[in-house]
Structure 1
Amino acid sequence: MPQQETELTPRQIVAELDRDIVGQADAKRAVAVALRNRWRRRQLSDELRAQVTPKNIMLIGPTGVGKTEIARRLAMLVGAPFVKTEATKYTEVGYYGRDVESLIRDLVEAAILLVKSTEREAVQEQAKARVETRLLDLLLPPPKPVMGWGHEHEHGAGSEPGDRFQRSRDKLKQQLEAGELEDREVEISMPAKSVAPISILGAGNMEQMEMDLQGMFEKMMPKSSQPRRMTVKDARPILMMQEVDQLIDPEKIHQAAVTLAQESGIVFIDELDKIAGDEGSTRGPDVSRQGVQRDLLPIVEGTTVNTKYGPVKTDHVLFVAAGAFHRAKPSDLMPELQGRFPIRVEMHDLTRDDFARILREPRASLLRQYEALLGTEGLTLEFTDEAIEVMADLAFQVNRSTQNIGARRLHTILERILEEVSFDAPDRHDRTVVVDADLVRSRLEALAKDEDLSRYIL
């Protein structure tokens, strides 16, 4: 169970999201309350807890305003398994395409990665000690028992060869700890590469059967290994992985992952508006859209999905759906599906000031990313305040005159401005590059004014 989920109040969740996402206060409040409700549910009696279902959320707004980012950051914040998918990726069962249930199988895989990561950290110190012992054994193998006078003598601690061996081993251990043997070669055993599984069943809704067959073949095939010579430095991480894997119990991980997915999983379904179609329609794409909605309904409503790690109940998984809803409306979805998303939040278009804040404020803002990337070449990149304002202004203008793609427009604008600097970075003599308003204008203003050009280039 993620620990943070029990500690964060809605106000703290919003404050954390504010560090990475600009604006959209309504959406942040809605997801913060939905998350806190999960904690509240766990405080209830068993009888009442079973009756309380998650308050799923529907985020309505154009592309690039932060819908996915809010859901993703939320999952990272509480250490919850998270899966993002597009509703358009699925087709009705019986058509060629992905089965909607694969969403939950992906969620369990995400949960396994999280649980494994926690377990790995827990056994790290123990594994480290075992790796050092294995390296010592590889550098100085223990002496084999010696046969003599009808009974077996071992080079034990009391014998002279045994003492000599122990002294050598102690000396070697000190050298190993001091990092003096990193270039010494050792021979380690590595598992042979397995042949990639061949897909024998084409249709998407057969993937569970395919996974079961694959698992069965893996169990039947003998695991072979091959010796490899490498330095102590290269062998250490490989041995570390082997020891960690031996110390963690796969069955325990699978059980914990299923529980984590059931109790704390977050599923983000994007482009929900694209599967809204006419209920009366009996032909064309609308039939499949209706089919996907019908297949999605039991999963959102609460059902049991079979996975290779055991059955997973979806009753308490939090579903966050999103869509632009330009042409369709939430009311165009099946009434039952609409009812499963009681919280509706409208996301706002980004203003010119929002663009400036997006460039400046988040911990991993675009400007910080570019400064760090070019810093690897020894370049110092500086953006003047006026340059940031001009970039925000241009992003806002181009979004209004062409297609509104929200904050993603800033990526294109920055790439355009820094293209030459990025190309010349290794060969530049001046190690400081100042991006000012004049540079931004010279690179972009002509493009932004020409609507046809900006449509293709910006």
Structure 2
Amino acid sequence: MSENDFIIVDEEETSKEDNRQDTGREEEKKEVTTSDHSEKDDDGYERICFICHRPESVTGKMVELPNNIAVCPDCMQRSFDMMNNSSMDLSSMMNIPGVHFMNLSDLDNLQPKAQKIKKKKKEPKEFKQLDIKKIPAPHKIKARLDEYIVGQEYAKKAISVAVYNHYKRVATGTMDEIEIEKSNMLMIGPTGCGKTYLVKTLAKLLDVPLAITDATSLTEAGYIGDDIESVVSKLLAAADNDVERAEQGIIFIDEIDKIAKKKTSSQRDVSGESVQQGMLKLLEGSEVEVPVGANSKNAMVPLTTVNTKNILFICGGAFPDLEDIIKERLQKKTSMGFNAELKDTVEHDEELLSKVTIEDLRKFGMIPEFLGRLPIVFTLKGLDKEMLVKILKEPKNAILKQYQKLLALDEVKLEFDDSALEAIAEKAMEKDTGARALRAIIEEFMLDIMYEIPKDDNIGEVTITRAYIEGTGGPVIQLRGQAVPRLDG
């Protein structure tokens, strides 16, 4: 063996050793890069796509570019597609004088620095599978509703039975060949009678996702406004984008009377009958493509499929002028004979709305196909003075109890005379907006009390009187350890 052979062997071993060192350096670089990325991911803020400005929670994992530039997979794919489909040869442009490609370092200052979105704390999702033995019976659901809602006995009974039957249907699934149909509901009642509050309380008791949406913003597909599928999109958001949990939720569509057919209109009815027709498939149960985190479908928003078969739809509306349609129908009966209906009894009937029929709703402007998918129709009564007084003090989270708790934190006792409660109810009746008027009235006269009480540590008790509500006197203030009535005129 010659000396050259030895030299060759040594060179081979040296090159192998160099390769090992280079590999080690590359691994060290990878470790450093990985640690850098992990530190960047854990800074508490989401990365935002440089092109479409959507956060990583919406787009999915970002593609990292030099100079801390992040691009979402959708924008990256579109960029590749544009380059592949383009007839221009980019490589030939590299040698053209006067043509300069932008350096990535130049983009660093173009990234909007102010757009930072705090990351949500990831909590383990607990999906509660419905157990038919654990579904509360109708009388138990109504008993819980009684704690929060005054009156409306028939409405609470109807909604308790409908919800109980619906979740029995969801829990059993397809146990045999008999398939139970959905029990969607239509609530009719004047404004401020408790339609929305009833549904909110129900969803809280059942611990199911609830989406409350307004029918006034819905339009036919292709027109300005929210798409019809946006009602399901809101439910998906309420379920934290958990499709399986959202498919067992409740959707409450308020102001449903606003999508009635327009009777005197020569233009296209894009927010009336068209919306009713578009909602038919949702109410009956079908698979719909829903935008995630948006109200309308577009190229920048991902879509997911939600089956509305087990979603309970509750529609509610005030239906103004419906009473006139009911009066017209009842007054058509002859005013003579044994079965006569006197005109006066119809005019002054306080429960006229409870006599509504499907035909009355059709005359109002609801199409028969839409009404056919809402088999349970019930009405809520308007609130009288006695019910308003009960709403003030009886429910678990009554308005007066809220203010009493606020002042109790200042170690001050708040009391209301019975005559003061009646005065508040009378003022609310004048506004004719139902229970919503109570809050506005109380906020008005409690403003000065909530402002003045923290000034004086000697005040121990405040009693609201009728004179204070009517503006002819002031509250009775009792100091700690002694009673000193004082009127602030």
Instruction: Bin the TM-score by the shorter chain.
Output: 0.5 to 0.7
Task: Measure how far apart 1:107 and its partner are.
Answer: 0.7
* Superposed counterparts of 1:31-180, under 5 Å: 31-41=159-169, 42-43=171-172, 45-48=174-177, 51-112=179-240
Tell me the distance in 1 between the aligned counterparts of 2:150 and 2:177: 38
Change (3 A) 1:94 1:444: farther
- How far does the alpha carbon of each residue in 1:96-143 deviate from its partner, in whole angstroms, 9 at most, with x for none? 11111121121122122xxxxxxxxxxxxxxxxxxxxxxxxxxxxxxx
AA of the residue aligned to 1:43: T
Structure-1 residue corresponding to 2:351 = none
Tell me the distance in 2 between the aligned counterparts of 1:14 and 1:289: 34
Tell me the distance in 2 between the aligned counterparts of 1:2 and 1:369: 35
Larger relative CO (CA 8 A, sep 6+): 1 or 2? 1
* Superposed counterparts of 1:53-452, under 5 Å: 53-112=181-240, 257-262=242-247, 264-278=248-262, 281-283=265-267, 286-307=269-290, 308=292, 310-327=304-321, 330-331=361-362, 332-396=365-429, 398-399=430-431, 404-428=432-456, 429-442=458-471
TM-score, reference length from structure 2: 0.56
Change (3 A) 1:444 1:319: farther
- How far does the alpha carbon of each residue in 1:179-204 deviate from its partner, in whole angstroms, 9 at most, with x for none? xxxxxxxxxxxxxxxxxxxxxxxxxx
AA of the residue aligned to 1:77: L
**What are structure 2's unaligned runs of at least 5 residues?**
1-127, 293-302, 323-359, 475-489
Change (3 A) 1:267 1:417: same
User: In 2, are the aligned partners of 1:34 and 1:54 still within 8 Å (CA)?
Assistant: no
Tell me the distance in 1 between the aligned counterparts of 2:261 and 2:473: 41
Task: Measure how far apart 1:38 and its partner are.
Answer: 2.2
Tell me the distance in 2 between the aligned counterparts of 1:84 and 1:45: 29
Task: Measure how far apart 1:288 and its partner are.
Answer: 2.9
Structure-2 residue corresponding to 1:11 = 139
Tell me the distance in 2 between the aligned counterparts of 1:376 and 1:295: 51
User: In 1, are the aligned partners of 2:166 and 2:183 still within 8 Å (CA)?
Assistant: no
Please identify which structure carries the higher helix content. Answer: 1
- Per the alignment, in what secondary structure is the counterpart of residue 269 of structure 1? strand
Tell me the distance in 2 between the aligned counterparts of 1:444 and 1:258: 58
TM-score, reference length from structure 1: 0.60
Structure-2 residue corresponding to 1:249 = none
Change (3 A) 1:26 1:2: farther
Task: Measure how far apart 1:433 and its partner are.
Answer: 1.2
Change (3 A) 1:321 1:34: same
- Per the alignment, in what secondary structure is the counterpart of residue 267 of structure 2? coil
Change (3 A) 1:30 1:4: farther
What is the number of equivalent residue pairs in this alignment? 294
Task: Measure how far apart 1:350 and its partner are.
Answer: 0.6
Task: Measure how far apart 1:2 and its partner are.
Answer: 5.8
Tell me the distance in 2 between the aligned counterparts of 1:4 and 1:432: 49
Larger radius of gyration: 2
User: In 2, are the aligned partners of 1:53 and 1:315 still within 8 Å (CA)?
Assistant: no
The CA RMSD measured in Å over matched residues stands at 2.4
User: In 2, are the aligned partners of 1:416 and 1:443 still within 8 Å (CA)?
Assistant: no
Deviant stretches of 4+, over 4 Å? 2-5, 279-282
Change (3 A) 1:393 1:36: same
User: In 2, are the aligned partners of 1:60 and 1:323 still within 8 Å (CA)?
Assistant: yes
Task: Measure how far apart 1:281 and its partner are.
Answer: 4.8
Tell me the distance in 2 between the aligned counterparts of 1:100 and 1:287: 11
Tell me the distance in 2 between the aligned counterparts of 1:61 and 1:296: 22
Tell me the distance in 2 between the aligned counterparts of 1:45 and 1:420: 61
AA of the residue aligned to 1:435: I
- Per the alignment, in what secondary structure is the counterpart of residue 288 of structure 1? coil
Change (3 A) 1:282 1:53: farther
Using the aligned pairs only, state the percent identity.
35
Tell me the distance in 2 between the aligned counterparts of 1:4 and 1:416: 47
